[in-house]
Amino acid sequence: MAHSGSERRAGRRLDSSDIQRASGDALGHGLTMAAAIGLFLWVGDRADRVLGTGPVLAVAGAVTGAVAGFYRLYAHLTALQDFSGPKDDRSEDSE
């Protein structure tokens, strides 16, 4: 389970399992990004060889892979924020 930033700021000390979890998440995101770029770059290179074009499709593949990797990172972080974000119901009750 992920810990929200408010727990860390509230003085809760991070233990080794928190650090390992965060390191694993960062490693996973990095590998996902590298795999997406590498896969799309490879597909673009193969398409360039078949079609006889220059490195145009390889570059397009690398850019597409980077966009896909960043999208995956963004989707994960927004889902994590929605899951662990603060739940403040007092603003609705005060009106």
Average pLDDT, the chain: 81
73 in a structural domain: yes
What is the per-residue pLDDT across 30-52, written as a single tens digit (0 to 9) for each?
999 999 999 999 999 999 999 99
37 in a structural domain: yes
43 in a structural domain: yes
Contact in structure between 57 and 45 (CB atoms under 8 Å): yes
1 in a structural domain: no
Describe the chain by its helix, strand, coil percentages, rounded to 5: 80, 0, 20
Domain, as residue range, for 46: 32-83
Domain count along the chain? 1
**Alpha-carbon gap, residue 34 to 62, rounded angstroms:** 10
pLDDT at 61 over 60: yes
List the one residue out of 41, 7, 45, 1 whose CA is nearest residue 25.
Answer: 1
* Sequence-separated (6 or more) residues with CB below 8 Å from residue 62: 37, 40, 41, 44
pLDDT at 63 over 90: yes
How confident is the model over 58-87, as a mean pLDDT?
86
